Structure 1
Amino acid sequence: MPSLDGSTLEGGGQLVRVALALSAITATPLHLYNIRANRAPPMRSGLKESHLAALHWLADQTGASVEGAELGSQDVKFRPRRRAGARTGVQKQQTGEHDAVNHRHRHHHTIELKKPGSVWLVLQAILPYAVFGMAKGEKRVDFTLTGGTNVDKSMSGEYVQQVMLPTLHKIGLPATVQVEIVKRGWACGVAPEIGEVKVGGGLEGFQVVNRGEIEKISISIVAHPESLRRQVIDKVTQQVGQRFKVPIVEAVVDEDSGHESRFYLLLVAHSSHGWRIGRDFLGTGAKIRSAGQVERLVEESVSRAVAALDTELRHGGCVDEHLQDQLVIFQALARGSSVVDAGIGRGDGTLHTQTVRWVCKEMLGEEECAGS
Structure 2
Amino acid sequence: MIELDGSQGEGGGQILRTGLALSMVTGRPLRIERIRARRPKPGLMRQHLACVLAAADVSGAQVEGAELGAQTLCFSPGAVRAGDYRFAIASAGSCLLVLQTVLPALMLADAPSRVRLSGGTHNPMAPPFHFLQRAYAPLVRRMGADLQLTLRRCGFYPAGGGEVEAAIHPAAGGLQPFDLLARGAPKAAFAECLAPGLARNIARRELDAVGAAMGWSGDQLRIGEQRQNEGPGNALMATLEYEQVTEVFCSLGERGLSAEEVARRLVVEVRAFQAGNAAVGAHLADQLALLMGLAVWQSGRSAAFTCSELTEHTRTNCAVIERFLPVRFALEVEGSQLAVKAARVAMA
TM-score by length of 2: 0.86
Partner of 1:150, secondary structure, is coil
Q: Deviations over 1:229-269 (max 9, x none)?
A: 2232222222112xxxx799624552347799521101111
Work out whether 1:228 is the aligned partner of 2:202. yes
Q: Deviations over 1:144-196 (max 9, x none)?
A: 10111122111111222222222333x32412x12222122111232221111
The 8 Å contact of residues 131 and 199 in structure 1, kept in 2 or not, is answered as yes
Work out whether 1:50 is the aligned partner of 2:42. no
Work out whether 1:36 is the aligned partner of 2:6. no
Question: What is the match of residue 156 of structure 2?
Answer: 186
1:287-298 alignment, distance < 5 Å: 297-298=258-259
Letter in 2 for 1:123: L
Aligned residues: CA RMSD: 2.3
Work out whether 1:338 is the aligned partner of 2:296. no
Question: Distance between the aligned counterparts of 1:333 and 1:276, measured in 2?
Answer: 21
The 8 Å contact of residues 30 and 75 in structure 2, kept in 1 or not, is answered as yes
Question: What is the match of residue 361 of structure 1?
Answer: 322
Question: What is the match of residue 293 of structure 1?
Answer: none
TM-score by length of 1: 0.81
Give the alignment partner of residue 116 of structure 1, picking from 86, 92, 96.
Answer: 92
Compared CA separation, residues 60 and 365, structure 1 to 2 (3 A): same
Question: Distance between the aligned counterparts of 2:188 and 2:31, measured in 1?
Answer: 46
Q: Quote the sequence identity (%).
A: 28
Question: What is the match of residue 59 of structure 2?
Answer: 62
Compared CA separation, residues 279 and 61, structure 1 to 2 (3 A): closer
Q: Deviations over 1:73-110 (max 9, x none)?
A: 1111111233x5xx4xx8xxxxxxxxxxxxxxxx3210
Question: What is the match of residue 78 of structure 1?
Answer: 75
1:159-170 alignment, distance < 5 Å: 159-169=131-141
Question: Distance between the aligned counterparts of 2:192 and 2:96, measured in 1?
Answer: 18
Deviation at 1:19, TM superposition (A): 0.6
Question: What is the match of residue 337 of structure 2?
Answer: none
Higher Cα Rg: structure 1 or 2?
1
Question: What is the match of residue 131 of structure 1?
Answer: 107
Question: What is the match of residue 198 of structure 1?
Answer: 169
Partner of 1:367, secondary structure, is strand
Deviation at 1:313, TM superposition (A): 1.9
The 8 Å contact of residues 357 and 369 in structure 1, kept in 2 or not, is answered as no
Partner of 1:268, secondary structure, is strand
The 8 Å contact of residues 47 and 74 in structure 1, kept in 2 or not, is answered as yes
Q: Deviations over 1:173-232 (max 9, x none)?
A: 412x12222122111232221111122421112111222233321212011333322232
Question: Distance between the aligned counterparts of 1:312 and 1:263, measured in 2?
Answer: 23
Question: Distance between the aligned counterparts of 1:39 and 1:189, measured in 2?
Answer: 22
How many residues are treated as equivalent by the alignment? 324
Question: Distance between the aligned counterparts of 1:19 and 1:369, measured in 2?
Answer: 20
Question: Distance between the aligned counterparts of 1:285 and 1:159, measured in 2?
Answer: 23
Gaps of 5+ in 1: 91-106, 287-295
Question: What is the match of residue 261 of structure 2?
Answer: 300
Q: Deviations over 1:281-321 (max 9, x none)?
A: 101245xxxxxxxxx72321111111111112223111111
The 8 Å contact of residues 262 and 285 in structure 1, kept in 2 or not, is answered as no
The 8 Å contact of residues 331 and 368 in structure 1, kept in 2 or not, is answered as no
Deviation at 1:365, TM superposition (A): 4.1
Question: Distance between the aligned counterparts of 2:4 and 2:59, measured in 1?
Answer: 20
The 8 Å contact of residues 24 and 80 in structure 1, kept in 2 or not, is answered as yes
Compared CA separation, residues 196 and 228, structure 1 to 2 (3 A): same
Question: Distance between the aligned counterparts of 2:4 and 2:71, measured in 1?
Answer: 11
Gaps of 5+ in 2: 332-339, 342-348
